[in-house]
Amino acid sequence: MASRARPLSLVAPALAALLLALVLAPLLAVGWRGAGISLGPAEWAAVRFSVLQAVFSAVLSTFLAIPVARALARRNFPGRGVLITLMGAPFLLPAVVAVLGLLAVFGRSGVLNAGLVALGLPPISIYGLHGVVIAHVFLNLPLATRMILQSWLSIPAERIRLAQSLGFGPRETFRHLEWPMLREVLPGVALVILVICLTSFAVVLTLGGGPSATTIELAIYQAVRFEFDLSRAAGLAGVQLAIGSIAALAAWLMTSPAGFGAGLGRDLELSAPGGWRKAGDIGALVGVALFLALPLGAVLLRGLPGLGEIPASVLPAAGRSVLVALTSTILATVAALTLALASARRTHLLAEAAATLPLATSGLVLGTGLFLLIQPFAPPMSLALPVTVLVNVALSLPYLYRILLPEARALHADYGRLADSLALRGWPRLRWLVLPRLARPLGFGTGIAAALSMGDLGVIALFAGEHQATLPLVVSQLTGAYRTEAAAAAALILVTLSFALFWAFDAGGRRAAA
């Protein structure tokens, strides 16, 4: 049997080593070029702003998610499933589109300022720290809600039944059941969002950018694209890597169970008190629904009239985006499936390292390192799309691997010995056993990877020339040029393509598993 597993056992380490090299080589280039570089006051100001906006965004997203998750956990109402599904939309939504939607609501000519002017009040500006935080809350509040909701629903029914038999009211239920769960879950949720906000680029590119509102990633972009100061960019990338690594490690260490113990299954709902608590739950649900729906609706309403007059650069950029997304998704799926199947047989430390290391970095840090590696041998702009594909593979691999690994382990435990006894290996094993059994998580994971790759605005901003721009970059350029209607039309195309790719892969996986 060991000989039959040998091909996979040989391919997986080689693939893991290749993926580690893909991540480590740019990081080593950054470390070598940035060694000994002293950062000035402007660079340290960018470091402080990066940490400050990430902390504010994480804290607000986490604590605003608590009443929303609580309301979803204890209330049953028509449309509850739709609202929970809507919570997943911002995670797949390209950040540049989310920013455009927020500008349509909170921008200079947005709905909010139009209402304030009509009331005789001064308009507000969304640019700066508060605008960046609002955008990050929009993107991460749904993620925090889903994570906290999952923990709320994991409280064993036996604990709820015991609390009811003891006559616990809402206050006692919160003290003895809900607060212990929140105390364990909230630090991990906040740190996960902190890591995401530290690597945000598109949001700050549009809503920040001033001397007092520049993050490390934006400073890297400016150093490469406008000043061509590669040493300064490498020094900043090294600082970004150090901060991201510390935050990622802390998030991993702080994610722990609430310690309720095992139950026999969740078949009992939380109590749903009336009065002001019911009004508070309704207010939280209505508020979050409006906060999520208004920007998306604004993009739709502003984009539809401009579809007939979209700029000539949009359609070629859309084609390049689809090509990059499909190529990177196929490569990432093959890599993640290979590593997951190898790890399912036995603990594979090299595969774990290859699938975890990208979480500590970002697209711009990897892009800076690849820029440093390529620049002595070839013009980096000529390799913009291949480099974007490689970075997208590295950054989407952790999501795919984590989605596939539990299912691959269950598959090996249930059918591994039977398949080995039947000498089912190679392509027949993949065709008749692995793909049918893993079709659902494969479809879901590849859909997420495709949507994330489609909306990525990171490394392409460093490398792209006039004829390599992808659709997110075109949307950002149109927004920066104040061509609002054209930007909204391009953003609508981008959203449609992103969700179409996700739906196609996810639906295909569900159909194959049926």
Query: For the domain that residue 183 is a member of, what is the CATH number?
Result: 1.10.3720.10
- Asked whether residue 296 falls in the same domain as residue 317, the answer is no
With 80 as the cut, is the pLDDT of residue 261 above it? Answer: no
- Asked whether residue 392 falls in the same domain as residue 320, the answer is yes
- Asked whether residue 289 falls in the same domain as residue 349, the answer is no
Asked whether residue 103 is domain-assigned, the answer is yes
- Asked whether residue 283 falls in the same domain as residue 339, the answer is no
Q: How far is the C-alpha of 431 from the C-alpha of 293, rounded, in Å?
A: 42
- Asked whether the beta carbons of 426 and 354 are under 8 A apart, the reply is no
Minimum mean pLDDT range among 58-62, 123-127, 206-210 = 206-210
Q: How many domains does the chain have?
A: 2
Maximum Cα–Cα distance for the chain, whole Å?
79
- Buried-state track 487-503, b at ≥16 Cβ within 10 A, e below 16: bbbbbbbbbebbbebbe
Residue 1's pLDDT band, with cuts at 50, 70 and 90, is very low
Report helix, strand or coil for 428.
Answer: helix
Asked whether residue 401 is domain-assigned, the answer is yes
Asked whether residue 65 is domain-assigned, the answer is yes
Minimum mean pLDDT range among 1-15, 66-80, 127-141, 163-177 = 1-15
With 60 as the cut, is the pLDDT of residue 326 above it? Answer: yes
Torsion angle in degrees (nearest 10) through CA of 384, 389, 394, 397: 160
Alpha helices (H) along 226-313: 230-254, 276-306
- Asked whether residue 7 falls in the same domain as residue 135, the answer is no
- Asked whether residue 398 falls in the same domain as residue 443, the answer is yes
Asked whether residue 32 is domain-assigned, the answer is no
- Asked whether residue 176 falls in the same domain as residue 289, the answer is yes
Minimum mean pLDDT range among 161-170, 190-199, 278-287 = 161-170
pTM, rounded to two decimals: 0.77
Closest CA to 69 of 167, 162, 189, 169: 189
Cβ atoms within 10 Å of 341's Cβ, excluding its own: 25
Taking CA atoms, 417 is separated from 195, 217, 341, 466, in Å, by 40, 49, 14, 55
Asked whether residue 306 is domain-assigned, the answer is no
Q: For residues 142-153, give the mean pLDDT.
A: 79
Closest CA to 243 of 187, 189, 191: 191
- Asked whether the beta carbons of 297 and 93 are under 8 A apart, the reply is no
- Asked whether residue 225 falls in the same domain as residue 356, the answer is no
Q: What percent of the chain has pLDDT over 70?
A: 83
Q: Which pLDDT score, from 0 to 100, does residue 330 have?
A: 93
Residues in the chain: 514
**Full residue range of the structural domain in which residue 323 is found:** 1-27+311-514
Asked whether residue 412 is domain-assigned, the answer is yes
- Asked whether residue 19 falls in the same domain as residue 64, the answer is no
Asked whether residue 186 is domain-assigned, the answer is yes
Q: How far is the C-alpha of 178 from the C-alpha of 185, rounded, in Å?
A: 11
Q: Which pLDDT score, from 0 to 100, does residue 384 have?
A: 83
Q: Which pLDDT score, from 0 to 100, does residue 332 have?
A: 92
Asked whether residue 305 is domain-assigned, the answer is no
- Asked whether residue 278 falls in the same domain as residue 351, the answer is no
Amino acid residing at 189: V
Minimum mean pLDDT range among 38-47, 54-63, 153-162 = 153-162
**Left, alpha or beta for 332 (phi > 0: left; psi -120 to 50: alpha)?**
alpha
Q: How far is the C-alpha of 60 from the C-alpha of 182, rounded, in Å?
A: 15
- Asked whether residue 348 falls in the same domain as residue 289, the answer is no
Q: Which pLDDT score, from 0 to 100, does residue 61 have?
A: 92
3-class DSSP string for 474-508: HHHHHHHCCCHHHHHHHHHHHHHHHHHHHHHHHHH
- Asked whether residue 15 falls in the same domain as residue 90, the answer is no
Q: Which residues contact residue 485 at a Cβ distance below 8 angstroms, ignoring those fewer than 6 apart?
A: 302, 303, 305, 306, 309
Among 300, 319, 351, give the residue marking a domain's end: 300
pLDDT in tens, 398-430: 888 888 877 777 777 766 676 667 666 766 776
Q: How far is the C-alpha of 109 from the C-alpha of 113, rounded, in Å?
A: 6
Q: Which pLDDT score, from 0 to 100, does residue 323 have?
A: 94
Q: How far is the C-alpha of 115 from the C-alpha of 64, rounded, in Å?
A: 25
Q: How far is the C-alpha of 341 from the C-alpha of 411, rounded, in Å?
A: 9
Residue 167's pLDDT band, with cuts at 50, 70 and 90, is low
Q: Which pLDDT score, from 0 to 100, does residue 162 have?
A: 67
Q: Is 78 exposed, middle or buried (0-12, 13-18, 19+ CB in 10 A)?
A: exposed
